[in-house]
Amino acid sequence: MKRVLSLKWGLATIAALLVLSAGADVYVPPPRTLSHAEWMMAMGHKAAPLRFPVPCFALAVLLGAWCVSVRRKRPSIMVWLACCAPAIFFVPIVHGEFWFDIIFLSVFGVSTVSWIVSVGLYFRLRKFVKCVGVLLAIPGVFVAVTVAGIIVNQSRSYLLAAADISYRAPVDPHPGETYDEYVKRANRIIHHHCPKCDKPMKSAYYYGRYWYCDACGYNKDFERRQEERANTQRRTELQTKTETP
């Protein structure tokens, strides 16, 4: 029994070492440049006609649910609204979009106000057990929806990368830059364009690969600078040796 167990552990160790050694040679596709539509989505610059009615619609839903809940003396309506509103967060979190935009703030405001109003109504009706339950349950729902969205987002990215070997992670945009600036920066990262003149650079080897530009001369003195740096290091080492007794 012990021999069989040791043989199994040995085979498992060999398989793990083979997987780790093979993982070093796995093809990793280069990143890609976002299209203008993808860049607009990533930067949160969505169309204004689709974004500005969102707070108005959220306010109308909140006021309607509030009136029905007060007239019928049923705080459960506000509780359901406070529980269902965070479910809208699930979609943008899964797709990795930005949270703190007008949609996020509208839904967060509806959920928060509904939560406070429902707690106040239960307290006013002297249903203290339900008041405490709602007070503790709604934040739990919000956290659960957020964590579930993040987990699904990560697993979705892994599945896309595993299912398609040509899947390439995009170059992330920086806040405040235009699309032309983003394309220039992405070309410098992906296609090794020159940071000065934005023309394709050439590569060479001198104790490692480096890139230089023939058009403007960027980094053409790389070998000379490396030699000067090595010479200064040698001089400092010789000086330290001669100064030490």
Residue 152 shares a structural domain with residue 207:
no
What's residue 194's pLDDT?
Answer: 93
Residue 136 shares a structural domain with residue 204:
no
Residue 117 shares a structural domain with residue 63:
yes
For 156, other C-beta atoms within 10 Å of its C-beta total 13
Total of domains in the chain? 2
What's residue 200's pLDDT?
Answer: 92
What's residue 91's pLDDT?
Answer: 64
Q: Which of 201, 234, 232 is nearest to 215 (CA)?
A: 201
Residue 51 shares a structural domain with residue 129:
yes
What's residue 185's pLDDT?
Answer: 92
Using 50 as the pLDDT threshold, list the residues of the chain that sit under it.
20-26, 46-48, 163-165
Residue 222 shares a structural domain with residue 126:
no
What gap in Å lies between CA 62 and CA 70, rounded to an integer?
A: 12
- Quote the pTM value: 0.44
What's residue 245's pLDDT?
Answer: 60
What's residue 4's pLDDT?
Answer: 56
Residue 25 has which token pair? 């040679």
Q: Which of 147, 169, 173, 171 is nearest to 157 (CA)?
A: 169
Domain that holds residue 213: 192-243
What gap in Å lies between CA 73 and CA 19, rounded to an integer?
A: 63
